[in-house]
Amino acid sequence: MLPLVSEDGQKPDLRSLSLEELKLLVDRMGEKPYRAKQLFRWLHFRGAASLDEMTDLPRPFRERLAAEARLVTLAIDAVQQSSDGTRKYRLRTYDGKFIESVYMPDEAGPQSFDPESDADEPATRVRRTLCISTQVGCAMGCGFCMTATMGLVRNLSAGEIADQVYRVNADLRGLGLQGERPLTNLVYMGMGEPLHNYASVMRSLALLLHEEGANFSHRHITVSTSGLVPNIVRFGEESQVKLAVSLNATTDELRARLMPVDKKWNIAALMDAVRRFPSRQGRRVTFEYVLLRGVNDSPEDAARLAALLKGLPVKVNLISYNENPGLGFGDPGPERVQSFRQDLTRRGVTALVRKNRGRDILAACGQLAVAGQKEARS
């Protein structure tokens, strides 16, 4: 029986299948074994959008593939370009839902910090990072996030997660960027909670890391979580990619208001999971801390954060809030952000500020997709 037949009875998606599963499919079709590797490379090295592009596969084989399976490909529905080079993509799924991916070009330097960066990489290395989504909407309900207003619509498949990379690579090539695959780094920090869609996220990582496909380095991929404690240690044991934990508060009272996940797994449980997270190959957990004006940005907050992290091999990524209309939270401003960072540094915490990106477009997570859903309904 062919793996990955969907629950709704649809034919399996070729882009979600592993190389081993494609071998089973090819064998069942009576084709030569090497066709599986050819097909996998078309899907994940070249990022083919259709079977018709696979010109070195015999037409009868492609026709049989179309009859037995399907190739799910995202469509770029809208693009917004920021003055800083950021490009935000609204992508439409096969069933008419909207998700987002954000491209962020950056020349690494000592004053910039991204969770996927490596301390031993040259400071001048150009990073082309894509922030990708794992769900349509999100079930976590974080009060400062526009995506939360959608609720959880559905999980993305592994193929849909990976295809965000291929659609953006194709777009960047069209803009003149050199190379078959211009993107260098990936962060699973877009719409959705990655560890809530665990199986598809892990399968997508295997596809994107595969040497016959996109061949990303595990050092250049970061997966973010709002704090799904049961899956944190499991993720560390089953994957070598990096983990970022969205903390955003230093007391359970405040964190539960901002992030309802704290009501189920509080800060103590979260910190215990981080302590047990495997740190092989020098991998450190990054804590993301979104600074909200007058909410979590005081010197007392900084002192409590430093106390929470004392003795842990972690680093803090400070993020100045990118304001969402109607949610009631504000940007604390650069002076307050730098002061908060200095408070942490004085207490021995490695903390850097992530650059503000795309402030002149709908760059905050969920804004463009929510607008698209409203347009579709109307």
**What's the CA gap between 47 and 42, in Å, rounded?**
6
59 and 184 in a common domain: no
Q: CATH number of the domain at 326, please.
A: 3.20.20.70
- pLDDT value, residue 364: 62
Is residue 214 in some structural domain?
A: yes
Measuring CA to CA, how many Å separate 275 from each of 116, 119, 123, 270, 283? Answer: 20, 21, 29, 9, 13
- pLDDT value, residue 374: 59
157 and 33 in a common domain: no
108 and 177 in a common domain: yes
Name the percent of the chain lying above pLDDT 90.
77
Is residue 209 in some structural domain?
A: yes
Lowest mean pLDDT among 22-26, 335-339, 360-364: 360-364
**What's the CA gap between 57 and 239, in Å, rounded?**
33
Q: Does 120 score more than 60 pLDDT?
A: no
256 and 107 in a common domain: yes
Give the predicted TM-score (pTM) of the model: 0.91
Q: Does 113 score more than 50 pLDDT?
A: no
Average pLDDT over residues 13-22: 98
- pLDDT value, residue 6: 53
Give tens-digit pLDDT for 148-169: 999 999 999 999 999 999 999 9
- pLDDT value, residue 4: 46
- pLDDT value, residue 72: 96
- pLDDT value, residue 354: 86
Helix (H) or strand (E) holding 80: strand 75-81
- pLDDT value, residue 97: 96
Domain end, chosen from 45, 68, 91, is at: 68
119 and 96 in a common domain: yes
Confirm if 289 and 248 have CB atoms less than 8 A apart: yes
Select which of 31, 100, 116, 193 is catalytic. Answer: 100
**Edge to edge, what strands does the sheet with 75-81 contain?**
75-81, 87-92, 98-107, 126-131, 185-188, 221-225, 242-246, 285-291, 314-320, 351-353
Tokens of 372: 């698209």
Q: What angle do CA 248, 342, 338 make, to 5 degrees?
A: 70
261 and 155 in a common domain: yes
Residue 279: pLDDT band with limits 50, 70, 90:
confident
Is residue 255 in some structural domain?
A: yes
Give tens-digit pLDDT for 33-49: 999 999 999 999 999 99
Average pLDDT over residues 333-345: 96
Select which of 131, 142, 145, 365 is catalytic. Answer: 365
Tokens of 378: 């109307």
140 and 59 in a common domain: no
156 and 130 in a common domain: yes
- pLDDT value, residue 29: 93
Q: What angle do CA 228, 196, 45 make, to 5 degrees?
A: 125
Residue 355: pLDDT band with limits 50, 70, 90:
confident
Average pLDDT of the residues of the chain: 89
* Range with top average pLDDT, 180-189, 194-203, 275-284, 361-370: 194-203
Is residue 91 in some structural domain?
A: yes
Is residue 371 in some structural domain?
A: yes
29 and 116 in a common domain: no
Q: Which residue has the higher pLDDT, 36 or 361?
A: 36
Is residue 18 in some structural domain?
A: yes
Average pLDDT over residues 208-222: 96
Name the percent of the chain lying above pLDDT 70.
87
Q: Does 3 score more than 70 pLDDT?
A: no
122 and 18 in a common domain: no
- pLDDT value, residue 309: 96
Active site residue 100: yes
131 and 251 in a common domain: yes
Confirm if 19 and 77 have CB atoms less than 8 A apart: no
Nearest to 301 by CA among 262, 351, 260: 351
Domain end, chosen from 34, 68, 102, is at: 68
91 and 50 in a common domain: no
Is residue 1 in some structural domain?
A: no
Is residue 96 in some structural domain?
A: yes
Give tens-digit pLDDT for 46-87: 999 999 999 999 999 999 999 999 999 999 999 999 988 999
Q: CATH number of the domain at 62, please.
A: 1.10.150.530
Q: Does 363 score more than 50 pLDDT?
A: yes
Q: Does 110 score more than 70 pLDDT?
A: no
**What's the CA gap between 142 and 25, in Å, rounded?**
42
Average pLDDT over residues 269-277: 95
Q: Which domain holds residue 46?
A: 14-68
Q: Which residue has the higher pLDDT, 35 or 10?
A: 35
How many domains in the chain? 2
